[in-house]
Amino acid sequence: MIDLTIIWAFIIAFAVFMYVVMDGFDLGIGILFPALQPGAERDKAMNSVAPVWDGNETWLVLGGGGLLAAFPLAYSIILPAIYPPIIAMLLGLVFRGVAFEARWRDPKHMSFWDFTFTSGSIIAAFSQGVTLGALLQGVQVSGRAYAGGWLDWLSPYSILTGLGVTIGYALLGATWLIYKTDGPVQDHSYRLAAKLAPATIVSLAAVSIYTPFLENEYWDRWFTMPNILFSAQVPLITGIIIFALYRALKKRHELAPFLLTLGLFLLGMIGLGISMFPYVVPDTITIWDAAAGESSLIFMLIGTIITVPFILGYTAWAYWVFRGKVSDEGYH
């Protein structure tokens, strides 16, 4: 028998990962903006994402909307616990979007819009990491409602995850620029990636070491038999990807660094799944406890089956049309 609850859990996880894939690198470009030279270098970086950036939040809507529709109890508990970082993330995305468009139309104030673009990108990325950390460290629940305070999300662990996501997005941005640019901008991006790669690895290692100590359940899932036979493959594959990433940067490969960085994020998602599944609110609410009724899940699944292929199709088409390197004037 098909378990619709598990199917919806995977749909939401897929939407979150697609958001990281699609929006992570353009947030990363915003984070890197102060390290890029004003003028042609920043313009080329912006042009590399201009044709595709505004469709990337589609996956964020699917993830958030899917959580509300498929797991309403989890939504009603989690959202009050993380209102401040969620509000900060949305404001960051708004300011970043306005700055993206305004810097071309208001060149007299370009330095202001560049600052706004960077600030919005950093705030959005950091808030996403803080939200992840706040969820992993646990949420106080009483009955079927959030029972914690306004600032329970703020902790050393959530700050660490916020910094880790921000650094990781910056690495994604640098490797994207390696793939999409050439000349001095590409050379600069290689140098930035060489610095950001070890920083990303250190932050990933710090979060990975910290996480099992948050909950006894997390420790058991990672370090007890027979779980360890599966979970041990995650750090092993991570080590292989890290080695391949350093090798790809040293040999100046163009596409491989970006794909390998995405691989690190995918392994992070798998690690998150190992730690949390089947809980949507750690150690309190499982996906089955939080799920909507079967008829609702079926109805929404039909719509998702119809719409998601269209989203994937027009996204793939957009990336295909704007394939190749970006020049100072645009794509060539």
Q: pTM here?
A: 0.92
Strand partners, 285: 281
For residue range 211-237, what is the model confidence (pLDDT) as tens digits? 888 888 888 888 888 878 888 888 899
Does residue 4 register a pLDDT over 90? Answer: no
Q: How far apart are CA 121 and CA 31, in angstroms?
A: 6
For residue range 172-193, what is the model confidence (pLDDT) as tens digits? 999 999 998 888 889 999 999 9
Question: Please, which residues have CB within 8 angstroms of residue 286's CB and are 6 or more apart in sequence?
Answer: 278, 279, 280
pLDDT value, residue 328: 60
Does residue 1 register a pLDDT over 70? Answer: no
**Do residues 125 and 88 touch, judged by C-beta distance below 8 A?**
no
Phi/psi class of residue 3: alpha, beta or left (left: φ > 0; alpha: ψ in -120 to 50)?
A: beta
Q: Which two tokens stand for residue 135?
A: 């969820």
Q: How far apart are CA 193 and CA 201, in angstroms?
A: 12
pLDDT value, residue 331: 47
Q: How far apart are CA 93 and CA 98, in angstroms?
A: 9
Chain center to CA of 208? 17
Strand partners, 202: none
pLDDT value, residue 329: 58
**Do residues 271 and 205 touch, judged by C-beta distance below 8 A?**
no
- Give me the sign of the Cα torsion angle 271, 272, 276, 278: negative
**Closest C-alpha to 210, from 291, 136, 148, 281:** 136
Q: Which two tokens stand for residue 318?
A: 């957009």
284 by DSSP, 3-state: which? coil
Q: pLDDT-based confidence at 201, cuts 50/70/90? A: very high
**CA angle (255 as vertex; 253, 258 as ends), nearest 5:** 110
For residue range 119-148, what is the model confidence (pLDDT) as tens digits? 999 999 999 999 989 888 888 888 778 887
pLDDT value, residue 327: 67
**Closest C-alpha to 281, from 59, 20, 80:** 80
The total number of residues shown for the chain amounts to 332
Q: Which two tokens stand for residue 151?
A: 């600032």
